[in-house]
Amino acid sequence: MPALQITRISDFRFENFTVPQRAHKTFNQQSKINNMNVQDWLLDSDPAIRWQVLRDIADAPEEIVAAERARVAAEGWGARLLALQGKDGQWAGGALFPARRVRSENGQRPNGQPWTATAYSLVALRDFGVDPRNQGVRQAVEQVCEHCRWEHAGQPFFSGEVEPCINGMTVMLGAYFGQDVDAVVARLLSEQLDDGGWNCEVENGSVRSSFHTTIRVLEGLLVHERATGSAESIPARRRGEEYLLERKLFRRKSTGAVVDPAWLQLSFPTRWRYDVLRALEYFREAGDPPDPRIDEAIDLLRSKRQPDGTWLLENTHPGAIHFPVDDGDGRPSRWNTLRASRVLRWYEQ
């Protein structure tokens, strides 16, 4: 491609299209996809998705990716979520749970766990890829450090608490947002079970690992390794990966049966729950050559690709949210299409 003179993102042209700005007109989603290629459709989105498409799918120059990423904290979903942080330095007045349970317009509480408190708000900001060096983001995190305490026993947020599933999330968030979570990492390493994984129920006597807990810990350890350069957790992380790979990401080791059919459905946000695409995203992010034991999971992912080249949102986890970031179950999902596309790109290289 010849060198381009680029002054703003809308000037950047790939071989056959221009990066579009988010359309403001409302029209049928399926008609829209049919009239655009999938990459165009992904780029016609919020900056949180657009910058990741530019980096992971379109191979845009670094300066274009950085410019688009900078917009996440300033507009769209990222800015909207940052603005919802309360004066107490928390989202919805709590660490894992809101201070008050919200009610719908008919006065009923939404089904499921509420996802509006501080922990899952920070997870969303991380999913959006907000730049942790942004001044507004740094101030938001400082407020969390100063004011947010876990409901379990009042521990400071980035000190974690007692459950490995929560501490895996804490490590991921702390490492991403530049906080010292070394002590939480050390605790997790000491709590790895004999089969290679982790389980939040270990304090209640469980000696078998949980897929849900294990994927959270693996995600946290990987982010911590990347942020700190420490290799201390690599052996434990490899053992945790082996726990998933021995089970082909979704099967019981003992019988080969599917552990939970829900894991074969594509969710986003994933919350605390495991599924096949979440595991594949982890292995892609880890950056190793694909292990043959993920082949069946890859075949499943390929089978879910729609004729128009998109993937659907299949399994939204119920609960109160700040605002939607996709169009609902059974409809084409920009998030899942981005995630599945970059997994297949890694696998097929």
Average pLDDT over residues 195-224: 95
Please tell me the chain's helix, strand, coil percentages from 3-state DSSP, rounded to the nearest 5. 50, 5, 50
Using CA atoms, how far apart are residues 141 and 79, in angstroms rounded to an integer?
14
Query: Model pTM?
Result: 0.90
Least-confidence region, from 15-19, 153-157, 256-260: 15-19
Average pLDDT over residues 135-162: 98
Using CA atoms, how far apart are residues 267 and 314, in angstroms rounded to an integer?
6
Between the two ends of the chain, the Cα-to-Cα distance in Å is 21
pLDDT at residue 227 in the model: 98
Taking the domains of the chain in order of start, what are their residue ranges? 162-246, 263-349
Place 111 in a pLDDT band, splitting at 50, 70 and 90.
confident
Does residue 261 have a cis bond before it (omega within 30 degrees)?
A: no
Sole residue written with tokens 């957790």: 233
Using CA atoms, how far apart are residues 248 and 209, in angstroms rounded to an integer?
15
Place 102 in a pLDDT band, splitting at 50, 70 and 90.
low
Average pLDDT, the chain: 91
pLDDT at residue 103 in the model: 58
10 Å CB burial of residue 70 (0-12, 13-18, 19+) is: middle
